[in-house]
Amino acid sequence: MNAPVPTRLGRYEIQEEIGRGMMGVVYRAVDPALGRTVALKTVQLAWAISDEDRQNFEKRFMAEARTAASLSHPGIVVVHDIGHDSEAKTVFIAMEHLHGRTLAQMTAEAATLEWREALRITARVAEALHAGQGLQNRRKARQQQARRDAGARQQKAQHDAGGPAPGDGAGDAGGLWLSHAAPGTVGDGDPKERGHRQGW
């Protein structure tokens, strides 16, 4: 059974539900401060999880919202705001509200898309994905550098404490293990490493 539509989340006034999935609900809402209509995406999981897992999920949700907010491309929706509603106990993303038809609606209205239109849509999607991947690659490079720096600091601390010196094997193995064990998304890893982990 779906939860009732809230009247407000944060400062946003909810008008109606416009989308629902396994991990969240999207509402059409109004920002009264700016008089702007937004799409308000919230976390409402369709299955029960622990409080700790929910907190981790919401942290990831907010981190991805911040990443999306740093992108600027005609094919990527604009993120206006993020927030947390303590009464509803949910986090949300306020995004640009777009008018038009989804690709599913377009393909449902006709047996097939005209090939030129299909190519045009594919090219626009590819351009948006390329813009997002560029940011992801820069983020990956920063994370790898941070892990290398952390490994170097650990090896120096071990050496200063009388442990294995950098380059003698034991210390390097420890640093490499910590580097590869650092938490991150599957998308942040090397494609070959992802394939190995997932059994491809």
- How far is the first Cα of the chain from the last one, in angstroms, to the nearest whole number? 38
**In this structure, is residue 53 part of a structural domain?**
yes
Per-residue pLDDT band at 183 (split at 50, 70, 90): very low
Q: In this structure, are 83 and 109 located in the same domain?
A: no
Looking at the structure, tell me whether residues 174 and 116 fall in a common domain: yes
- Looking at the structure of the chain, the number of domains it has is 2
Say if 41 falls within a structural domain.
yes
Q: Which residue has the higher pLDDT, 23 or 146?
A: 23
Confirm whether 200 is domain-assigned: no
Average pLDDT (67-73) is 80
Q: Is the dihedral of CA 164, 165, 168, 174 positive or negative?
A: positive
pTM, rounded to two decimals: 0.58
Q: Which of 31-45, 60-74, 172-186 has the highest mean pLDDT?
A: 31-45
Residue at which a domain ends, from 96, 115, 139: 96
The reply to whether 85 and 15 lie within a common domain is yes
CA 139/CA 132 separation, integer angstroms: 11
Q: pLDDT for 36-53, tens place per residue? A: 999 999 988 777 888 888
Q: In which domain, by residue range, is 87 found?
A: 8-96
Q: Which of 73, 96, 119 is the last residue of a domain?
A: 96
Q: Is the pLDDT of residue 60 over 50?
A: yes
Evaluate whether residue 66 is within a structural domain: yes
- Examine the domain organization and report whether 107 and 170 are in the same domain: yes
Decide which of 96, 128, 160 is a domain's last residue. 96
**Best CA proximity match to 10, nearest among 38, 49, 47:** 38
Q: What is the pLDDT of residues 89-123, one digit of tens each?
A: 889 999 999 888 877 877 786 667 788 988 988 88
* pLDDT confidence of residue 63: 85
Q: Are residues 120 and 181 in the same domain?
A: yes
Residues 146 and 177 reside in one and the same domain: yes
**In terms of domains, do 90 and 108 share one?**
no
3 domain residue, yes or no: no
Q: Quick one: pLDDT at residue 136?
A: 57
Gap between the Cα atoms of 153 and 131, Å rounded = 34
Q: Report the C-alpha gap between 118 and 34 in whole angstroms.
A: 37
Residues 86 and 112 in one domain: no
Same domain, 78 and 129: no
